[in-house]
Amino acid sequence: MIAVIQRVSSSSVTINGSVKGQIGNGLMVLLGIEDVDNQEDIDWLSKKIVNLRIFPDENGVMNRSVLDVVGDILLISQFTLHASTKKGNRPSYIKAAKPDFAIPMYEKFIHALENELGRPIQTGEFGADMKVALVNDGPVTIIIDSKNRV
């Protein structure tokens, strides 16, 4: 699993002209799932995201997590994170998981994040054409691949 995590002061996702999810202060997370991902990836990555210390403390040092600042999370599925651009100019998405595998994994990831955060999160809709808006705070953007944890 690959996650692109952005510290935001606000973020929203709109589908067919209607806002599906929105948050204020917190994290906007883009999540890419591949066929080799499993429950261990879900558990490790959800815990890592919720405990990632990228919010400023009273001294302006990034030392607080989304838990510490009681921030929210907006999770968006994004298969294009697994794009391969090695050959030619048209990306290949061969590593991205197919919907029959990815949808249940995405739903498990939602529940894992909610369990770690201790409350519901906001989401997009798997496979939908989404318009994502955000105000990146900092800017702070972190990329984490669950296969590179060692």
Catalytic residues: 78-80
Whose CA is closest to 73, among 49, 45, 47, 106? 49
Tokens of 114: 């909610």
Q: Measured between alpha carbons, how far is 12 from 28 in angstroms, rounded to an integer?
A: 9
CA 49 vs CA 26, 57, 67, 78, 94: distances in Å: 11, 18, 10, 17, 26
Tokens of 38: 């499993």
